[in-house]
Chain A
Amino acid sequence: MDAIKTVNLSKSYNNTLVLKQLNLNVKKGEVYGFIGKNGAGKTTTINLILSLILKDSGQVFINEEEIKFSDLAFKKLIGYVPDVPVFPSYMCAKDYLRFTLDIFDLGDSMVNQKTEEILEFVSLPNSTKKISSYSRGMKQRLAIAQALIHDPEIIIMDEPTSALDPIGRNDVMNIIYKLRGSKTIFYSTHILDDVERVCDRIGLLDDGNLIVQDTVDNIQKNFFSNKFYIETKNEPKFVLKKIAKINQVQNAVKENHGIVCYLEENTDENTLLKKLMEMDENIVEFRRVKTSLEDVFIRLTNEKTT
């Protein structure tokens, strides 16, 4: 079952199409990483899913039910963490969480217990300090707390770590990691290390187009997995010259004591090995290098623009 689905979703600003017939689906219970460069259309997609902006065309489904701009019921199923959360400056964390519970009709006798539990979960001190005095990281943790307090099925996060320092980022990632498996998480970012760490599937958005959508493993396997590390007894700089001349090698660079090269898509490693033997190279190490998501991202987005 799809928790979130968009069908041919389009949006334009000032006659510029920023989201082009987007078709994505987020399965129930998975952590979906929505990645793309700045300006790719990630926030626009999230705003459309949440009915914060009006779409030009297309449909949005939450739990298989189509939503309209004025619908409210689906919002009970969602917890939203914006990229830059802004709270009423006169409130403290507890006030805001109480307000959220009230809005979701959950303002019962358990309010205090619920707010204390959630503040503990996101490691925020339960103080009466006004939110206006919070650091960026604390505000982000409060944003996560208010998104979780009504126990929603779906959490939508818009670049929750983009402006945080490494410690704040790690804290937020740990929270997402703790939620894995219990919630559907739709998480937009351009920090690919985070995606590799927590996401089950990813969607890569580039210039308003979803150019790939699959599991992290499949993407690494299917896209650009022909990356090899070769070390011979010969000096790397000489080996590099030889390897660069092989027709099936797309790109080769010196790395540590060996060479990292990319083979053409339909070429297998045996061809490369055979060529190296023919060159009388004594191979010390020959292995396939696991492609990072960053490689995939850079190559896919570059491929499209070149």
Chain B
Amino acid sequence: MKKLLKYDYQYLKRTSKFIIFPVVIIILAVLSPLTARYLNEILAFSLGDQAGMFNFPDPVVFDSYVEYLSNLSDIYLYVIIFIGVGTFINDKTKGLYPLILSKPINRVKYLLSKYMTLSSLIFVSLMVGMLVFSFYTYYIFGEVDLLNVFLLSLLYFIYVELILAIAMFSAMYFKSYITAVMITFAGYILVSLINVFSFEFLKYMPGMISSNIIQVISNSASTPDVIYNVVVTLVITGLLVVLSITKFKKYDLN
């Protein structure tokens, strides 16, 4: 497993994917507090004389957290989907499987190694993002709750694990990169859509993680609800990983 991890890291490093995750998150970590702080002023400026008709509330540090989470949930997830699917499907679409699978490589470890490599890279990027974001938020708003930012990053990372599992699942079940990306996006939209419905039984589904993050950082979360939400997300993630492994174990080059 160690050797596979080593080569998967090498792949990410040499194909510049290694740098994309931290760079994008640093950009988002810098832009989010700036946007939260100055968006009202930009809007007021662009509206000119009509600005007086609207009442813009003064920005607070909470706006910075929400902006950061929003950017992570959109832009950063798109980056994760595009790169994640590519990492899982690349060996198949590029025709590398005959040489790889003719070697004594354990297929379970092979797949888990890719998943773990990506996960760890994203986790480290999130931690870097957390530091940069915290620094900038403090610089701009004069205050920051490090624990809240850490919890935000951690809960978001659990959601990322699910998206990566969907990406891996799609890459195992579909032959082309485009199809796998589309299926992953469909999975992501499906998961997010659950937010729209307010059925009791849906409140622990993965799509509720964003709402729970907001509640956690506004100190209004119900701890058991958050824990159940995390557990359900991790169970679904695990299920997708198992299904992907099952498929890959029986994968036939034809």
The residues of A with any CB-CB pair to B shorter than 8 Å are 13, 47, 50-54, 69-70, 72-73, 75-76, 78, 80, 82, 84-91, 95, 99-100, 102-104, 107, 143, 146
Give the bracket for the number of chain B residues in contact with chain A. Answer: 20 to 34
User: For residue A91, which residues in chain B have a CB less than 8 angstroms away from its CB?
Assistant: 14
Known: A72-B104, A104-B104. A87 touches B252 (CB 8 A): no
Contact A104 B103, CB 8 Å, known A13-B254, A70-B249: yes
- Contact A50/B250 with A86-B94, A86-B95, A103-B3 known, Cβ cut-off 8 Å: no
CB distance from A100 to the nearest CB of B (A): 7
> Which B185-223 residues sit within 8 Å CB-CB of chain A?
none
Q: B175 contacts the other chain (Cβ, under 8 Å)?
A: no
In whole angstroms, what is the CA distance A294 to B70 when docked? 70
Is B103 a contact partner of A90 (Cβ separation < 8 A)? no
B15, A85: Cβ atoms closer than 8 Å: no
Complex-state Cα separation, A87 to B7, whole angstroms: 13
Is B101 in contact with chain A by the CB < 8 A criterion? yes
Give the shortest distance, in Å, between A159 (CB) and chain B (any CB): 13
Report Cα–Cα, A303/B98, bound state, in Å.
35
A-B contact count (CB 8 A): 67
Q: Is the CB of A47 within 8 A of B253?
A: yes
Q: Is the CB of A54 within 8 A of B99?
A: no
Interface CB pairs A-B, < 8 A, 25: A47-B98, A47-B254, A51-B101, A52-B252, A52-B253, A53-B252, A54-B250, A70-B107, A70-B249, A72-B104, A73-B104, A78-B102, A82-B102, A86-B94, A86-B99, A87-B96, A88-B96, A89-B94, A90-B15, A91-B14, A99-B7, A102-B7, A103-B3, A103-B104, A104-B104
Q: Of the candidates B14, B249, B253, which one forms a contact with A53 in the assembled complex, judged by CB atoms under 8 Å apart?
A: B253
Residues of B within 8 A of A85 (CB): 99
Q: Is B232 an interface residue (CB 8 A)?
A: no
B98 touches A82 (CB 8 A): yes
Kindly supply a per-residue 1/0 record for chain B positions 104-117, scoring 1 wherever the CB is within 8 Å of any chain A CB and 0 otherwise.
11110000000000
With A52-B97, A90-B15, A100-B103 given, name 6 new contacts (CB 8 A). Answer: A52-B101, A53-B254, A54-B250, A86-B98, A103-B104, A103-B105
**Closest residue of A by beta carbon distance from B249:** A70
Are B253 and A102 in contact, CB atoms less than 8 angstroms apart? Answer: no
- For the complex, what is the distance from the CA of A76 to the CA of B105, rounded to whole Å? 10
Residues 70-122 of B contacting A (Cβ, < 8 Å): 94-99, 101-107
Identify which of A87, A95, A102 contacts B99 (C-beta below 8 A): A87
What 6 pairs across the A-B complex have the smallest Cβ distances?
Answer: A80-B102, A90-B14, A86-B95, A75-B104, A72-B104, A102-B3
Q: Is B247 an interface residue (CB 8 A)?
A: no
CA distance A141 to B153 in the complex (A): 48
- On whether the beta carbons of A54 and B11 are closer than 8 Å, the reply is no
Measured CB to CB, the nearest residue on chain B to A103 is: B103
Closest to B13 in A: A90
- A121→B252 CA distance, assembly (Å): 33
Chain A hits for B3, CB < 8 A: 102-103, 107
Task: Known A100-B103, A102-B6, A104-B104; judge A88-B11 contact (CB<8 A).
Answer: yes
Q: Quote the shortest CB–CB distance from B28 to chain A (angstroms).
A: 27
Given the complex of chains A and B, what is the CA–CA distance between A47 and B251 in angstroms? 12
CB neighbours (8 Å) of A50 from chain B are 101-102
Of all chain B residues, which has the CB nearest A69?
Answer: B250
